[in-house]
Structure 1
Amino acid sequence: MMTAMEFWSPVTVSLQVTVAASWFSFLLALAAAWASTRRRWANHVAMETLFMLPLVLPPSVVGYGLLVLLGRESWFGQWLETLWGQPLVFTWWAAVIAATVVAFPLIYQTLKSGFHSHDPELADAARTMGAQEWQIFRYIILPLSWRHLVTGYILGFARALGEFGATLMVAGNIPGKTQTLPTAIYLAVEAGQEETALSWVLMVVLFSFLLMAVSRVMLRKA
């Protein structure tokens, strides 16, 4: 018989991972989307493709790539281990990184669409009056894009909440540490705990439905 603590543990871990990952991916996407609207990079197509790649790749492929990148066999993984004091894979932070990577494309595309939807003459007029780029971004672009900002964050939050494959590959399924709701559901089904799995599934479906409904309303008003 599963205790209340065991039942709510993956819920707590999922929310912690999702909140952290959604904010990290949101900030990264915000910077990338703003940079892409200001100038075209020399390798613009390649960069855009790289940003959107996690959206179309199988989660297991994304997870394997992160496992190779963050593992002890890579120089980056060795550097992180020296800096961190322990291997990064199969930790809570590994789950956050996996969720951040898969949530980033949705947020990036939403914010980029929002930034491109404005009349560029507004920013040009501000420049003629001596406004700096950060002032244009702060006082013109962000206020005009607030619906896209909220929608992008919600979509990223929902994607991070439902992440399974990449998280399982790079963070594992450690109860109370890296076991999120999707991985807990998988384990419960494998163990024949149908009622527990169904409870978690309904919880995720309801929460995701509410998030998607809000995002649709926000985009419709944008």
Structure 2
Amino acid sequence: MWGFRAEELSAIRLSLKVAVAAALCSLPAGIAVAWLLARRRFPGKALLDALVHLPLVLPPVVVGYALLVLLGGNGPVGAWLDAAFGISFAFRWTGAALASAIMGFPLLVRTVRLSIEQVDRRLEEAAATLGAGPLRVFFTVTLPLAWPGLVAGVVLAFAKALGEFGATITFVSSIPDETRTMSSAIYGLMQVPGGEAGIWRLAAVAVAISFAALLASEWLVRRQRGEERVP
């Protein structure tokens, strides 16, 4: 039962690649948007907040279809990217990473925003009083103090990307060795007789990876806060 097949190992490797790419590539934008929502007041802030959290309430299939219409081979953005730069997302693993990043982006932004809001503004003001510019204040005061939230946000985005199904299968389908992640592989195994063993293998790997990521996140946060690790 526990002997992994080649296609299952391929799905596991691809899922990890997609999840890591989705979490890391969305991190800079997530930090910027989180800081903007936490520290600035501007017209349309509520609208931006709603747009950021929209993927949480939309059916994932709708997000995948919107990406397919916009970034598909005949889509306005997709056709331009392909003609100008030779970049294609539809039915590629990069498209799976993009769809997963969009679905996990609200979780990342919300977690980082809450962490930034907990940073004492008086520390930032003191650094500014001593002559530090906005960027220096952000990188030397705000970001280090909000570091646990960044770790938690990346882990949440990674876990979301690891299990994403609806948006990815709509946008990039389930192509072996290219876009077939663990979620789509499990769905495919549900359609064939005798696929239960493969389902259990992939499900066990998904649980183990997610659990390990959460444990690593908790350990890093405790270490940052100077707490001893609970055995």
Tell me the residue number matched to 1:30.
31
- Distance in 2, matches of 1:9 and 1:186, equals 15
Matching residue of 1:127: 128
Give the alignment partner of residue 195 of structure 1, picking from 194, 197, 221.
197
- Deviation string, structure 1 residues 52-79 (Cα, Å, up to 9, x no partner): 1111211111111111111244321221
Question: Residue by residue, what CA displacement relative to the aligned partner does 1:69-98 show, whole Å, maximum 9, x if unpaired?
Answer: 112443212211213436431111111110
Structure 1 residue 214: deviation in Å? 5.1
The C-alpha deviation readout for 1:155-176, integer Å capped at 9, x for no partner, is 1110010000000010110000
SS in 2 for 1:191: coil
Query: Hey, what's the Cα distance between the residues in 1 that align with 2:18 and 2:115?
Result: 27
Give unmatched runs, 5+ long, in structure 2. 226-231
Instruction: Find the counterpart in structure 2 of residue 138 from structure 1.
Output: 139
User: Could you give the per-residue CA deviations for residues 136-185 of structure 1, whole angstroms, max 9, x where no partner exists?
Assistant: 11111111111111111111110010000000010110000010000001
Cα deviations by residue, 1:186-210 (Å, 9 ceiling, x for unpaired): 0011112110111101111222233
Cross-structure match for 2:92? 91
2-structure distance, mates of 1:153, 1:87: 25
Pairing of 1:180-191 with structure 2 (within 5 A): 180-191=181-192
191-200 or 173-182: bigger deviation:
191-200
Q: Percent identity?
A: 38
- Deviation, 1:213, is 5.0
State the one-letter code of the partner of 2:208: L
In structure 2, C-alpha distance between the alignment counterparts of 1:190 and 1:213, rounded to whole Å: 34
**Runs of 5+ consecutive residues of structure 1 not aligned to the other structure:** none
Matches within 5 A, 1:35-184: 35-85=36-86, 87-184=88-185
RMSD: 2.0
When normalised by structure 2's length, the TM-score is 0.88
**Which amino acid is the alignment partner of residue 202 of structure 2?**
W
Whether the 8 Å contact between 1:26 and 1:153 is mirrored in structure 2 is yes
Q: Which amino acid aligns with 1:13?
A: L
Q: Is the 8 A contact 1:155 1:215 kept in 2?
A: no
Please give the alpha-carbon distance, in whole angstroms, between the structure 2 residues aligned to 1:146 and 1:72.
39
Cα distance in 1 for residues equivalent to 2:209 and 2:43 = 41
Whichever residue aligns with residue 180 of structure 2, its letter is: Q
Residues 1:3 and 1:198: Cα distance change in structure 2 (over 3 Å):
closer
Amino acid at match of 1:201: A
Letter paired with 2:44:
N
Matching residue of 1:20? 21
Matches of 1:83 and 1:164 in 2, distance apart? 30
Structure 1 residue 121 displacement after superposition = 1.0
SS at match of 1:110: helix
Q: Give yes or no for contact 2:53–2:106 (8 Å, CA) kept in 1.
A: yes
Number of matched pairs: 220
Given that residues 39 and 117 in structure 2 are in contact (C-alpha distance below 8 angstroms), is that contact kept between their aligned partners in structure 1?
Answer: no
